[in-house]
């Protein structure tokens, strides 16, 4: 039964936030950061032609459905299962976590839905497609409506038996993973929600071995879908971040350290970044390697060389629990937890102990985690921490299309793109007129900003993101703009030999890679191909959401593309089936325009 708040305490009392630990010990490994880190240090995948890593960005439900359409097209090309790794953030994780761990009872064709090469064959009736087991159906369910999630979170916020820092995890378990059979939730005798106790592993053989060594782990374990005849699942990196106090320039405020969650291990590759942001007096250095994922969020009790022992936590129903798919998916998309107004403290928190300090056997401290997009929303930097990724195919689905800022007459620099892409070149996100940072309009190199300019501004979290030469940024903008041909084609950037710079924040080693980027945005050719009644349906959605934007100008600042599909929808977590399927078909169509180049990458 759920733990009740002790007499005389409230849910904001520090004593209530103290974790309860079981007597169950688990043993695992910590993987110290190496001179060279490779995916093959984690898993054996067989042939991965081209050693391609695929990235699906964040962006909530829209990024989830965009990734659905993109995976569908990649599967039709025959390359989805040939990737060496898939790196995801936030909404991209909402799509790829279910795909990676999909249970046997849902077949791949049902989950991905039909690939449609010619949009003119779409009909209003075929767009009303939302069967059980289809990933797209998830965003059509009532539970994922933003108002419903906020209402549910509010009830849990005042529930004396449910910990605040598990509220977002419950929303993800219930609304994102449960429809695909990857979580279950129930109510205990006090009518308080309980998330299924479960953990995850790479394959069934690994899971059986780990369980035999650690019988106290929960009985439910989710593994990669590896049944015969199914699409091969690439190695998956689910990206999140941890708030830290940096070792350098701590006066500028907290920073975010990149955290990778995989079926094998979870943690921070980079070293000497800082200490966990915590009220504890025993500061905990972050980084230095990863620990077995089922040992993450545990209380360290002993260590010897690369082996560790730790205690598992208890959940709110006093059951032994472990780090789960609900945890990695919630952490990766924790932006939404902070977006629920009036509910401070519902962002995820975990007991963190560092591989860097493992020899000291510190039990760990409560650490606050953040959306992976809080630091790098495209998943590219974390992917390149693995030295055996030779090519990157990335999809920027974070709701921002490419356009020229009408307030800026400098056509060399007034091209606005996804806000995280400039940071990869050492530039700030585009600063519009009247920006909160107080900077002049346009882009600014981080190297030229003073600490005072960075103080208190959200842009400081991106200051360590640079992995490409700044001199390449303007050609990058120009190529994206030219590739669209007045929005008749998707915005695409391709560089068959781009130099990657060393980056100690993400533990990236310098090398040369091939990079193909497909950027979210309007496509007049796709729309012009639609049947008249399908186009009318699309136009009705465009009109509706454009009116919503006008009613909330502070939430949705105006842009030149407000009244165009797909830009009219921003913060919608729920979509009707026809709109959801139009999104998926449009991103499939955009991906398919690069079919020849993509297939060449996998040779």
267-305 confidence digits (pLDDT tens): 999 988 998 866 656 677 888 889 999 999 999 988 876
Mean pLDDT of the region 523-541:
95
Cα-based angle 49, 54, 57 (whole degrees, multiple of 5)? 180
Look at residue 118 and tell me whether its pLDDT is greater than 80: yes
Mean pLDDT of the region 510-529:
96
Length of the chain: 603
CB 411 within 8 A of CB 377: no
Per mean pLDDT, which range of 135-139, 395-399, 422-426, 550-554 is the poorest? Answer: 550-554
Mean pLDDT of the region 562-566:
81
Per mean pLDDT, which range of 92-96, 196-200, 385-389, 560-564 is the poorest? Answer: 560-564
Look at residue 6 and tell me whether its pLDDT is greater than 60: no
Look at residue 598 and tell me whether its pLDDT is greater than 70: yes
Residue 384 CA, distance from chain mean position: 16
**The predicted structure's pLDDT at residue 192:** 85
pLDDT band at 236 (very low <50, low <70, confident <90, very high): very high
The β-bridge partners of 485 are none
Nearest to 126 by CA among 597, 601, 584, 595: 584
More confident of the two residues 571 and 443: 443
pLDDT band at 13 (very low <50, low <70, confident <90, very high): very low
Cα 431 to Cα 256, 417, 440, 480: the distances in Å are 21, 11, 7, 19
List, in order, residues 6 or more apart from 430 with CB less than 8 Å away: 405, 416, 417, 419, 422, 442, 443
Q: How many helices (H) and strands (E) does the chain have?
A: 17, 21
Look at residue 28 and tell me whether its pLDDT is greater than 80: yes
* Percentage of the chain exceeding pLDDT 70: 92
Is residue 556 helix, strand or coil? coil
**The predicted structure's pLDDT at residue 353:** 85
CB 124 within 8 A of CB 541: no
pLDDT band at 128 (very low <50, low <70, confident <90, very high): very high
Nearest to 511 by CA among 521, 501, 523, 526: 501
Look at residue 558 and tell me whether its pLDDT is greater than 80: no
pLDDT band at 572 (very low <50, low <70, confident <90, very high): confident
Mean pLDDT of the region 526-555:
88
Mean pLDDT of the region 101-129:
97
d(CA 417, CA 433): 16
Q: Quote the mean pLDDT of the chain.
A: 90
**The predicted structure's pLDDT at residue 457:** 61
d(CA 215, CA 211): 5
**The predicted structure's pLDDT at residue 12:** 52
Look at residue 251 and tell me whether its pLDDT is greater than 70: no
Q: Could you give the dihedral angle defined by the CA atoms of residues 349, 267, 240 and 206, in that order, rounded to the nearest 10 degrees?
A: -100
pLDDT band at 341 (very low <50, low <70, confident <90, very high): low
Is residue 344 helix, strand or coil? coil
**The predicted structure's pLDDT at residue 8:** 45
- The tokens of 217 are what? 């782990």
Look at residue 15 and tell me whether its pLDDT is greater than 50: no
Per mean pLDDT, which range of 159-168, 249-258, 472-481, 495-504 is the poorest? Answer: 249-258
Letter string b/e over residues 255-284, b meaning 16 or more CB atoms within 10 A of that residue's CB: bbbbbbbbbbbbbbbbbebbbbbbeeeeeb
**The predicted structure's pLDDT at residue 357:** 64
**The predicted structure's pLDDT at residue 45:** 85
pLDDT band at 7 (very low <50, low <70, confident <90, very high): very low
Q: What is the pTM of this model?
A: 0.95
Look at residue 139 and tell me whether its pLDDT is greater than 50: yes
Look at residue 258 and tell me whether its pLDDT is greater than 70: yes
The β-bridge partners of 299 are 311
d(CA 382, CA 506): 6
HSE toward the beta carbon, residue 36, CA cutoff 13 A: 7
pLDDT band at 356 (very low <50, low <70, confident <90, very high): low
pLDDT band at 569 (very low <50, low <70, confident <90, very high): low
Mean pLDDT of the region 219-242:
97
Mean pLDDT of the region 519-528:
95
Residue 51: which region, alpha, beta or left (left: phi > 0; alpha: psi -120 to 50)?
Answer: left
More confident of the two residues 395 and 452: 395
Task: Give residue-wise pLDDT tens across range 414-449.
Answer: 999 999 999 999 999 998 877 766 788 999 999 999
Mean pLDDT of the region 320-348:
85
The alpha-carbon radius of gyration of the chain (Å, integer) is 23
d(CA 401, CA 419): 10
- The tokens of 311 are what? 């205690």
Look at residue 571 and tell me whether its pLDDT is greater than 70: no
d(CA 272, CA 149): 38
Per mean pLDDT, which range of 290-299, 381-390, 568-577 is the poorest? Answer: 568-577
């Amino acid at each position: 039964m759920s733990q009740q708040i002790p007499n005389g305490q409230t849910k904001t009392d520090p004593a209530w936030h103290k974790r309860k630990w079981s007597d169950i010990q688990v043993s695992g490994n910590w993987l110290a950061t190496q001179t060279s880190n490779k995916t093959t240090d984690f898993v054996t995948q067989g042939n991965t032609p081209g050693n391609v890593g695929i990235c699906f960005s964040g962006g909530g439900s829209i990024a989830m459905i965009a990734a659905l359409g993109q995976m569908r097209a990649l599967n039709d090309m025959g390359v989805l299962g040939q990737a060496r790794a898939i790196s995801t953030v936030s909404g991209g994780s909402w799509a790829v976590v279910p795909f990676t761990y999909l249970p046997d009872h849902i077949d791949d064709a049902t989950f991905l839905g039909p690939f449609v090469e010619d949009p003119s064959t779409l009909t209003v009736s075929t767009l009303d497609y939302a069967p059980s087991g289809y990933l797209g159906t998830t965003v059509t369910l009532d539970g994922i409506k933003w108002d419903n999630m906020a209402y549910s979170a509010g009830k849990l916020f005042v529930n004396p038996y449910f910990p605040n820092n598990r509220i977002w995890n419950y929303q993800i378990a219930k609304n994102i993973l449960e429809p695909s059979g990857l979580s279950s939730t129930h109510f205990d005798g006090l009518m308080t929600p309980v998330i299924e106790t479960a953990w995850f592993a790479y394959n069934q053989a690994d899971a059986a071995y780990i369980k035999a060594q650690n019988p106290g782990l929960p009985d439910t374990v989710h593994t990669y879908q590896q049944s015969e005849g199914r699409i091969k699942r690439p190695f998956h990196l689910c990206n999140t971040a941890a708030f830290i106090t940096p070792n350098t320039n701590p006066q500028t405020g907290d920073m975010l350290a990149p955290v990778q969650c995989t079926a094998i291990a979870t943690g921070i590759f980079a070293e000497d970044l800082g200490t966990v942001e915590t009220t504890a007096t025993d500061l905990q250095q972050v980084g230095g390697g990863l620990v077995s994922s089922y040992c993450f969020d545990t209380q360290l009790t002993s260590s010897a060389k690369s082996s560790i022992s730790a205690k598992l936590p208890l959940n709110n129903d006093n059951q032994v629990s472990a780090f789960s798919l609900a945890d990695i998916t919630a952490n990766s998309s924790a932006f939404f937890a902070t977006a629920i107004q009036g509910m401070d403290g519902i962002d995820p928190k975990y007991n963190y102990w560092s591989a860097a300090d493992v020899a000291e056997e510190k039990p760990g401290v409560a650490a606050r985690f953040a959306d992976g997009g809080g630091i790098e929303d495209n998943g590219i930097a974390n992917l390149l921490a693995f030295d055996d990724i030779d090519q990157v195919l990335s999809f920027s689905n974070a709701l921002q299309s490419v356009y020229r800022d009408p307030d800026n007459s400098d056509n060399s620099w007034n091209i606005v793109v996804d806000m995280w892409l400039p940071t990869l070149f050492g530039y700030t996100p585009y600063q519009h007129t009247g920006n909160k940072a107080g900077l002049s309009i346009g882009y600014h190199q981080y190297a030229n900003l003073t600490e005072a300019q960075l103080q208190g501004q959200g842009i400081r979290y991106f200051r360590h993101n640079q992995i490409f030469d700044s001199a390449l940024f303007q050609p990058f903008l120009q190529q994206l703009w030219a590739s669209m041909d007045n929005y008749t084609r998707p915005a695409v950037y391709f560089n068959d030999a781009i130099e990657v710079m060393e980056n100690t924040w993400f533990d990236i080693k310098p090398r040369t890679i091939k990079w193909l980027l497909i950027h979210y945005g309007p496509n007049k050719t796709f729309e012009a191909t639609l049947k008249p009644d399908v186009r009318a349906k699309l136009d009705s959605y465009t009109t509706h959401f454009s009116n919503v934007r006008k009613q909330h100008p502070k939430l949705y600042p105006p842009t030149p593309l407000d009244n165009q599909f797909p830009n009219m929808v921003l913060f919608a977590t729920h979509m009707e089936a026809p709109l959801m399927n139009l999104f998926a078909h449009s991103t499939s169509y955009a991906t398919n325009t690069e079919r020849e180049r993509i297939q060449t990458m996998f040779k």
